[in-house]
Amino acid sequence: GQQLNQSPQSMFIQEGEDVSMNCTSSSIFNTWLWYKQDPGEGPVLLIALYKAGELTSNGRLTAQFGITRKDSFLNISASIPSDVGIYFCAGRGSSNTGKLIFGQGTTLQVKP
């Protein structure tokens, strides 16, 4: 089945630093989504990407839908302590089921 490889698995950075994480797949996706999950909560959508090559920003967050449709990255600029959490990429394929496939997650820790 379809799988997403997300990296890095974890990051420990200093406040103010920029962060980059990415997801790759062996198969094509039509939609890429980036979520943040706080402990004990459901995922919250950060950015949605619907077209190959699309570059979208949401405040300090920027994400891109790879031209090959097999990858996506998320950048966080000037990190702050509240950026701490687990970030997941998710992809939706071409089937009509609408199922999302999630990456393994990137745990981000920010040192004040």
Contact characters 64-93, another protein, x per CB under 8 A = ------------------------x-----
Residues 29-50 as b or e (16 or more Cβ within 10 Å = b): bebbbbbbeeeeeebeebbbbe
Q: Is 44 in the site for another protein (CB under 8 A)?
A: yes
Q: Is 48 in the site for another protein (CB under 8 A)?
A: yes
The answer to whether 13 touches 53, Cβ cutoff 8 Å, is no
**Residue of the chain from 19, 21, 33, 61 that contacts another protein (CB under 8 A):** 33
Q: Is 50 in the site for another protein (CB under 8 A)?
A: yes
